[in-house]
Amino acid sequence: MKTMTLNRSSTKAMNYKVKKVLGAVAIYCVLIIVCAIFLFPCLWLILSSFSATGSLYDTPGFFPESYSFDAFIKLFTDTANHNYPQWLANTLVIAIFNCIFSTLLIIGTAYVISYFQFKARKGLMKSALVLSMFPSFMGMTVIYILMTQFNIVNNIWGLVLIYSCTAPLGYLVQKGFFDTIPQSIYEAAKIDGATNARIFTTITLPLAKPIIVYTALTSFTWPWSDFILPKLLLIEKDNWTVAVGLMQLGQDEFARFAAGSVFIAVPIVVLYFFLVKYMVNGMTSGAVKG
């Protein structure tokens, strides 16, 4: 009787193990397929950037027949009509300054909304929430007309201005983070005689490192890949960003387009690898209210 029970339980354990292994295999299979689906376009783009013929239509199958670095070399040397280095520099300037200004404004907005209690607080929050629901391209015509009146069309600083000014509308994640900082810390600081500015600089900011990094990174990446606004506002080729410039390449220059796309992805990928820890901390801390 005892042996039978043992046999039965060992069979159950075996079945459980088999089921567990089969489940893991199934999950890994699905994950591998999903990865392949997501990786294939990237792989295709990277290999296309090394195509020797340059045109998308010359490849008999998915991948080029012959490979070379020509597209990358042309990208940086053939600048008469397509000045990629200039576009890259413009994109970098816009992204860096937007990163600085937007981070300051978003963190400031989120902190004020989270920490201070004032009369219009709820109203402001509701307005910001409603306004952020409208897609940004809805106001394109208005933005263009206003920018012409201020004479900052065709100027990369105009773009920095728009990006930075609209950034605080997305303060909610950061506010969520600040909400998790216990009020008792602030109260203790106040009892010790700290001013609001001192509380913010010496207590809040060091604690908010993950969310600041997260905010800076997202503020940097948004203009890095944005197309609609730069296309609308930047008229002269030397002011274009990479996203706008690459779109102007001819269809027989696909390798160059792919090379430009691959190259512009490099800084973002590097940044992500270095800052992924803060990113995850920032996102999770901001998303879950303590």
Partner 1 sequence: MKSKKLISTLLLSTLVIGLASCGGGDDPDDGGDGSVFDKFDGNLEVGATIKVVENDTAIKMGYLDELLDAFNEAYAEYNITAVDANQGEFADLPNSGPYGYGPDVIYQANDVLMGWVQDRHVTPLPVEKIEAYQSGVIPSAAQAAYQAEVGGVNYTFGVPLNIQSPLLYYRKDLLPADWETTWDDDQNGVPDMVENLVDLYEFSKIYHEQDNTKYGFEFSLNDFYFSSGYLFSYGAYLFGDNNRDDTDIGLHAGDARYGVQVLRQFAAEMSAACIDDSAKLAISGSMASGKYFSSVTTPDVRSVIVSTLATTYQSEKGLTLEEATALAEENVIGVPFPDLPANGDLINPSDEMIECKQMGGINGYAMSSYTKYPNASLAFINFATSYEMAKLREEFLQIAPARSDVSAESTELSKQLFDRVSNGSIVLMPSIKAIDQVWTPAGSFMGDVAADSNRGANAKYDTLDKIQAALEQLSQDIYDAIHLLDR
Note the residues at the interface with partner 1 (CB under 8 A). 52-58, 66, 80-81, 145-146, 148-149, 153-154, 235-238, 248, 251-252
Q: Three-state SS across 62-85?
A: CCCCCECCHHHHHHHHCCCCCCHH
Residue nearer to partner 1 on the CB measure, 220 or 254: 254
% helix / strand / coil in the chain, to the nearest 5? Answer: 80, 0, 20
CB of 73 to partner 1, least distance (A): 13
CB of 119 to partner 1, least distance (A): 11
Compute the distance between CA of residue 214 and CA of residue 281 in angstroms, rounded to an integer.
Answer: 8
CB of 123 to partner 1, least distance (A): 11
Query: Any idea which residue has 């990369």 for tokens?
Result: 156
Q: Find the farthest-apart pair of alpha carbons in the chain and give their distance in angstroms, rounded.
A: 93
Residue nearer to partner 1 on the CB measure, 144 or 278: 144
CB of 252 to partner 1, least distance (A): 6
Neighbours of 226 (CB within 10 A): 20
Kindly report the length of the chain.
Answer: 290
Query: Any idea which residue has 């506010």 for tokens?
Result: 175
Rg (CA), the chain: 26
CB of 59 to partner 1, least distance (A): 8
CB of 274 to partner 1, least distance (A): 36
Residue nearer to partner 1 on the CB measure, 132 or 154: 154
Residue nearer to partner 1 on the CB measure, 212 or 255: 255
Residue nearer to partner 1 on the CB measure, 156 or 213: 156
Token pair of 167, please? Answer: 């950034």
Residue nearer to partner 1 on the CB measure, 144 or 186: 144
Token pair of 117, please? Answer: 């209690």
